[in-house]
Structure 1
Amino acid sequence: MTKKLMAEVFGTFILVFFGCGSAVLMGEQIGMLGISIAFGLAIVAAAYSIGAISGAHLNPAVSLGFLMSGRMPAGEFAGYVLAQIAGAILGALVVFLIASGKTGYSLAVNGLGQNGFGPGYLGEYTMGAALIFELVATFVFVCVILAATASHVSAASTALAGLAIGLTLAAIHLVGINVTGVSVNPARSIGPAIFVGGKAIADLWVFIVAPLAGGAAAGLAHASGFFRPAGVQAEAKGRASAV
């Protein structure tokens, strides 16, 4: 279990360091497309480095989806969430330490890639728009993860799961960076917000509640058999009846 938790710390660190780091350190040079790709590639890097150890959840909403779908023991959930938050905080801290080395950098002005909404934040979308985007995007994201890593998926397809998940996160960023900066991950939001404070902390509840709701809904959808082929679903029901 300790090895799994350390893997989650490291993997979530990778996500925040690559993703938020690209926004803070290279944002003007690479733009939103580059930032989207960075977040996607971070998932790919983590999936293929620690996926075999912890499953590379990197995200409390993903872990909740696994829990609700019956694919994660309840006893592991809290540990995973704490490890993910710790990794995100470490990632944000390293980005801050690097950014602070640039003349003219201001945490209050330049931030740490924190999420937000409303007046003064990127596209200035409303709280309602932020909630809808984060809920729907997280639902889609976790559905893809659960489906791509399901037991009925072929070994060849499973080997490509990390790439599919990373591309999905990149696509989500292409749609939503202007709306909320894209969270779909409470840990990713908590890390930068702790250092930035102010509005980032005030807005943080949206990036906890909406992603967790989306992840839970995806887990329940997966548990219902919606994402399993008909034959597999029937077989699973048959085993349950036999028990």
Structure 2
Amino acid sequence: MPSHRPSSHRPIGTNRRKLPTATWVGIVVTLVLALIALASGGVWSMLLMTALVVLITAVYGLLFRRTTWLRLPRKRSAAALGAGLAFVVLLGSGSAFGAAHPSSPAADQPAAMAASPAPTKTPHAAATPTPTPTPTVTTKLVTETARIPFESTTVENDTLAQGTTTVTTKGVRGVQTTTYRVTITDGKETRRQQVLQEVTTPPVAQVTSVGTYVAPAPAPAPAPAPAVPDGGGATALCVDGSLSYAAHHQGACSHHGGVAQFYK
């Protein structure tokens, strides 16, 4: 009768061991730090952070011979191997991160200056800021002239007929000269200051004459002499209308106001 040996196989799932809580905590913390590094610096930053966490954990297990969340054997050789691998990964990821993220020009400037005494300007180099130019300021004297209006006066003239006018002196406008000191900055006038103002040509007043002369009334025509009476015996007509029969002009009408007209 065949003997029945106990089976050496165990039911599926009996060899599985649950990971301790410390291991899960370490994995979660490492993943969180790796994701933060990925978001801030990219893939190489994530690898750099992961390698750093693994290296610190392996060194801790190597020094104190304790089982860490990495579940490495307690032997120093195994812990040293894990720490070495983590260190190699750390160096590699650090070099790759540095190549992908070069340092700023300000940080590399001292080293570049020490290596090259006369740095050359490359097309990709940052442009040197252009210094602010100093404004050009000049001053000059500017002279301007302006017309001065003349005054008008009126005078009476008794040699001109009343109601007539004539310009006896023609008016002339004068000239006023003003001098300014002008400040010019970069080709534009920025200030104007008066230095001198004077009347270089005085105005001449205009004189108009108004006539006031009134002509006298004409003298009335003398009355015609009356006819000589008595056949012309009278020699003169007196002012009072009487007749004079004097033989000579002298003494005629002496008592009648004088002679108005001689007949003979």
Give yes or no for TM over 0.5: no
Q: Which has the higher contact order (CA 8 A, sep 6+)?
A: 1
Which structure has more helix as a fraction of its residues? Answer: 1
Q: TM-score, normalised by structure 2?
A: 0.22
Q: TM-score, normalised by structure 1?
A: 0.24
* Structure index of larger Rg: 2
